[in-house]
């Protein structure tokens, strides 16, 4: 089975000489949610724009559902829906017209029932006759999503869909994304909010300085890079870590009430048993224990920092 999106040896150098993408190779599977993470200016938007036909690639090939995006652009593009990062709308058009326009542009005959369904799902139905200029930013964002879904795409790109969006809209949006995934749509998203990638994505790609530095199953990524923390809440305040426990490289919280132990979940021995024994020997008593996995954000920050 071919991939939903297959990028091979893709380079993009802008006319200014800036190398935005360097040797990108990426396969996105049918029906998955793929989160593309990376700092600002890493090349996320350039990559999406190139796949969608807005930016010309310098070299390399891109297939969308097996169709070359340049030679078979009609077949390729009609499968793709794009929600760009910037809020750009035709101020004087109504919601209904602009969404219907998008459907026509993508070569589909009018289907009011489908437009109605999308508008209702995105809570835009009561705004259908409003001009876009009268809508709030969050509402405009919904319209952009409705436009992208108007032609029933099989692959959906969401470029920073939740940037500057309130909690309610984010929740609505993720409900729509989940429903789309269930109906078999492949979703590629970029986001600042790493907890969203953590919640939503099946796989995660990290891009930095125009290169894909990592593509991994989310769970796998969390597991392989994840470090855990064991926090011990002490019964008595301490000024320093007992010397007998030096080998564990414990950290004492600034208020002196907690001891923090870092360990790697991947290792055969985490050292917890020994630590607890030694704590007992040293006469350290504690009232509570807590363990915590590092978040994707911490993993991501570490990854990008390592590359520098």
Partner 1 sequence: MNLYAIKAIYLFEMHRTWRTIMQSVISPVVSTSLYFVVFGSAIGGRIPEISGVSYGAFIVPGLIMLSLLTQSISNASFGIYFPKFVGTIYELLSAPVSYLEIVVAYVGAAATKSIILGVIILATAALFVPLRIEHPFVMLLFLVLTAVTFSMFGFIIGIWADGFEKLQLVPLMIITPLTFLGGSFYSIEMLPPFWQKVTLFNPVVYLISGFRWSFFGLSDVHIGTSLAMTALFLIACILILRWIFTTGYRLKS
Contact residues toward partner 1 (CB under 8 A) are 14-15, 52-56, 73-78, 80, 82, 84, 86, 88-93, 97, 100-109, 147
Nearby residues of 124 by Cβ (< 8 Å), 6 or more positions away? 95, 118, 139, 142, 143, 146
The first and second tokens of residue 185, run together, are 């749509």
In the complex with partner 1, the residue whose CB is nearer, 14 or 233, is 14
**Cβ of residue 12: shortest distance to partner 1, in angstroms?**
9
The first and second tokens of residue 303, run together, are 């990854």
As a whole number of angstroms, the distance between CA 147 and CA 300 comes to: 32
User: What φ, ψ does residue 80 adopt, rounded to 5°?
Assistant: -105, 140
The β-bridge partners of 64 are 5, 67
In the complex with partner 1, the residue whose CB is nearer, 77 or 142, is 77
**Cβ of residue 15: shortest distance to partner 1, in angstroms?**
7
In the complex with partner 1, the residue whose CB is nearer, 50 or 208, is 50
In the complex with partner 1, the residue whose CB is nearer, 102 or 208, is 102
Exposed e or buried b per residue across 155-179, where buried means at least 16 C-beta atoms within 10 angstroms of its C-beta = bbbbbbbbeebeeebbebbeebbee
**Cβ of residue 133: shortest distance to partner 1, in angstroms?**
11
**Cβ of residue 125: shortest distance to partner 1, in angstroms?**
22
In the complex with partner 1, the residue whose CB is nearer, 146 or 230, is 146
> How many C-beta neighbours within 10 Å does residue 251 have?
14
**Cβ of residue 74: shortest distance to partner 1, in angstroms?**
4
**Cβ of residue 290: shortest distance to partner 1, in angstroms?**
47
- CA geometry: angle at 10 spanning 4 and 12, to 5°? 125
Phi-psi label, residue 210: left if phi above 0, alpha if psi -120 to 50, beta otherwise: left
In the complex with partner 1, the residue whose CB is nearer, 54 or 244, is 54
As a whole number of angstroms, the distance between CA 152 and CA 80 comes to: 9
In the complex with partner 1, the residue whose CB is nearer, 55 or 163, is 55
As a whole number of angstroms, the distance between CA 232 and CA 263 comes to: 14
3-state secondary structure at position 50: helix
**Cβ of residue 156: shortest distance to partner 1, in angstroms?**
12
In the complex with partner 1, the residue whose CB is nearer, 90 or 280, is 90
**Cβ of residue 55: shortest distance to partner 1, in angstroms?**
6
Cα diameter, the chain = 77
């Amino acid at each position: 089975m071919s991939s939903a999106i297959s990028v091979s040896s893709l380079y993009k150098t802008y006319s200014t000489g800036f190398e935005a993408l360097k040797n990108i190779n990426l396969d996105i599977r049918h029906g998955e949610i793929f989160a593309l993470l990376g700092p600002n200016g890493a090349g996320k938007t350039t990559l999406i724009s190139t796949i969608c036909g807005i930016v010309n690639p310098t070299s390399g090939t891109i297939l969308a559902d097996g169709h070359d995006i340049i030679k078979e652009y009609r077949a390729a593009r009609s499968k793709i829906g794009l929600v760009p990062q910037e809020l750009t709308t035709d101020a004087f058009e109504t919601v209904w017209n602009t969404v219907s326009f998008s459907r026509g542009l993508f070569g589909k005959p009018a289907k009011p029932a489908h437009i109605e369904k999308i508008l209702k799902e995105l809570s835009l139905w009561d705004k259908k006759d409003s001009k876009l200029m009268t809508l709030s930013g969050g509402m405009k964002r919904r319209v952009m999503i409705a436009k992208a879904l108007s032609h029933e795409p099989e692959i959906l790109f969401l470029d920073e869909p939740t940037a500057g969006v309130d909690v309610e809209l984010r929740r609505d949006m993720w409900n729509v994304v989940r429903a789309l995934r269930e109906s078999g749509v492949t979703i590629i998203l970029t986001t600042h909010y790493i907890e969203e990638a953590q919640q939503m994505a099946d796989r995660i790609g990290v891009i930095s300085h125009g290169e894909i530095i990592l593509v991994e199953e989310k769970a796998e990524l969390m597991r392989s890079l994840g470090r855990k923390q064991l926090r011990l809440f002490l019964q008595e305040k301490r000024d320093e870590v007992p010397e007998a426990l030096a080998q564990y490289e414990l950290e004492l919280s600034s208020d002196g009430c907690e001891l923090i132990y870092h360990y790697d979940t991947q290792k055969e021995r985490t050292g917890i048993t020994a630590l607890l024994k030694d704590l007992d020997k040293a006469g350290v008593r504690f009232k509570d224990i807590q363990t915590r996995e590092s978040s994707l954000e911490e993993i991501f920050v570490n990854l990008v920092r390592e590359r520098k």
